[in-house]
Structure 1
Amino acid sequence: MSPSSVTVPMHEQNSSGESGAATLTQIGKDVKVVITLKGAPATTPQPAHIHEGTCGSIKGVVYALTNVVNGQSTTTGRNATVDSLLDGTHAINVHESADNLGKYVACGDIVKR
C-alpha cells in the first residue's frame, strides 16, 4: 500500500541556519507539499523545487514549488503521487533567493522512512 503522507527532514545547507521539514500528502491525483523552515528570512522569497537526484548530487528540476516566505510554503498540484517520489532519486531543495539560485539553504532527500 502506498503511503498517503511522508515527512522529509530539511537539513541546513551552506551555513544558512535554515532547517525544518517538508510534508508530502496525497490528495486525489495531486501531491500537497508543505515546507516549514526555522531561521528563514521574513520577507525574502526563497525558490523551492523538487529535483532529480539527492541533496549530495542535485540534478534538474522536476516540479517548481511555491516560494518559501517567512519559513512557509504550500503547493498543491503536480499530477504526481507520493509513491512515485519515494524512489530515492528525488530531493526538495530551497534556494537563498531568486537572485542567488546557486546557493542552497535547505535540502531533504525524499525517501521511505
Structure 2
Amino acid sequence: MVVVLNELNDSGESGTATLVEKDGKVEVTVDMLGAPAGVVQPSHIHTGDCANTGAVVYPLEFPTDGQAVTTLPVGFDELKAQQPLLINVHKSTTLASVYVSCGELEL
C-alpha cells in the first residue's frame, strides 16, 4: 500500500510511504521530495487524521536526505484494528512541533 504524504505548512516537502507486509511485520519506506539535505526529520505513525493528530503509536526511522526504512513489530491486521492512523514527517529534531507532510493510512 502507498500512502501519499501531502505538503503541510508551505514546507515544499511531499512524498510517499510504502507499506509492505513481510513475515507478519509491516515494512515502511518513506521517500520525501524537497527534503533539505543532511537534515534529520522525525517521523511517526500517529492515531487520528491529518486534521486531528493524536498520539504517536509507532516511531519510524528518521528520514535523512528524504529516505528511511522501518520495520514495525505488527502486521496489517493489527494496524487496521488501530485505525484511524496517519504518518507525519516533522521539520527537524529541534522543530519537531512543525509538520512538513502528512498522509492517512487507509487499510
* TM-score, normalised relative to structure 2: 0.93
Identity of aligned residues (%): 41
1:96 is the counterpart of 2:97 = no
Secondary structure at 2:77's aligned position in 1?
helix
Q: Deviations over 1:48-107 (max 9, x none)?
A: 00001111110000000000111101111x221123334640000000011111100011
Count the aligned residue pairs.
106
Distance 1:96 1:37 in 2: 12
C-alpha root-mean-square deviation of aligned residues, in Å?
A: 1.2
Aligned partner letter, 2:63: V
Q: Secondary structure at the match of 1:32?
A: strand
Whether 1:40 aligns to 2:35 is yes
Q: Unaligned stretches of 5+ in structure 2?
A: none
Task: Give the Cα separation in 2 of the matches to 1:21 and 1:90.
Answer: 15
**As a proportion of its length, which structure holds more strand?**
1
Residue 22 in structure 1 maps to residue 5 in structure 2: no
| Counterpart-to-counterpart distance in 1, 2:80 and 2:65 | 27
One-letter amino acid of the structure 2 residue matched with residue 10 of structure 1: L
Query: Structure 1 unaligned runs (5+)?
Result: 1-5
Q: Which moved more, 1:87-96 or 1:15-24?
A: 87-96
**TM-score, with normalisation over the residues of structure 1?**
0.88
Runs of 4+ aligned residues of structure 1 deviating over 6 Å after TM superposition are none
